[in-house]
């Protein structure tokens, strides 16, 4: 599954020249799968593109937003970003599988309803597309730093009940 996610993330990043920054609370497996296909940027090195993953992690809005905002100093304007996050499937059978996967990571079912694309837009990124994979349990949001609103982007505050 991780290799599939890495391939889909690279597909959504599109063509770029340079290294990819991989960030998140638990980026290890996805970073390893991406590193087998492209050059990865070090911890504070500039990058040409980024993949941010929140799989298996809680959705504390301030921490998520700080992590995404930290990319602003590492990426050039217009750089592609792919955010990988949990998603709530539409059908009941898939939804139950998604809930089971979340419980295995110690997360509640509401974690799959986090507004990831809206969060990126509120932080000044231009959301281009959203793809669902793994039976709709995982979403990949493709975005770019919006050249016009980069500096001084707003903050998205998510009520505690909607995590």
pLDDT one-digit tens code per residue, 54-103: 988 877 889 989 999 888 888 998 999 999 987 877 777 776 777 777 67
Burial of 2 (C-beta count, 10 Å sphere; 0-12/13-18/19+): middle
Flag the least confident range among 25-39, 51-65, 105-119: 105-119
Residue 89: alpha-carbon gap to chain centroid: 17
Give pLDDT, residue 113. Answer: 74
Higher per-residue confidence, 50 vs 87: 50
Query: pLDDT tens digits, residue range 119-152?
Result: 899 888 999 998 887 777 788 999 997 655 544 4
Bridge partners for 27 per DSSP: none
Q: Please name which of 69, 79, 89 lies closest in space to residue 133, comparing C-alpha atoms.
A: 89
CB 133 within 8 A of CB 140: yes
Structure-token pair, residue 136: 């709709």
CA gap 11, 86 in Å, rounded: 19
pLDDT band at 11 (very low <50, low <70, confident <90, very high): very high
Give pLDDT, residue 159. Answer: 43
| H or E segment and range at residue 84 | strand 80-86
- Rounded to two decimals, what is the model's pTM? 0.81
Give pLDDT, residue 26. Answer: 86
pLDDT over 70 at 163, yes or no: no
Mean pLDDT, residues 4-22 taken together: 93
């Amino acid at each position: 599954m991780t290799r599939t996610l890495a391939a889909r993330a690279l597909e959504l990043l599109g063509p770029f020249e340079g290294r990819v920054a991989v960030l998140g609370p638990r980026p290890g497996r996805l970073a390893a799968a991406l590193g087998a296909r492209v050059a990865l940027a070090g911890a504070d090195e500039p990058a040409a593109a980024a993949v941010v993953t929140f799989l298996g992690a809680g959705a504390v809005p301030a921490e998520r937003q700080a992590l995404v905002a930290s990319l602003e100093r590492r990426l050039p304007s217009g750089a592609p970003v792919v955010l990988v996050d949990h998603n709530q499937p539409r059908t009941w059978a898939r939804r139950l599988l998604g809930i089971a996967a979340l419980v295995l990571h110690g997360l509640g079912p509401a974690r799959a309803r986090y507004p990831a694309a809206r969060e990126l837009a509120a932080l000044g990124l231009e959301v281009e597309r959203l793809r669902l994979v793994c039976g709709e349990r995982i979403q990949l949001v493709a975005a770019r730093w919006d050249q016009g609103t980069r500096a001084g982007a707003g903050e998205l505050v998510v009520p505690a009940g909607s995590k």
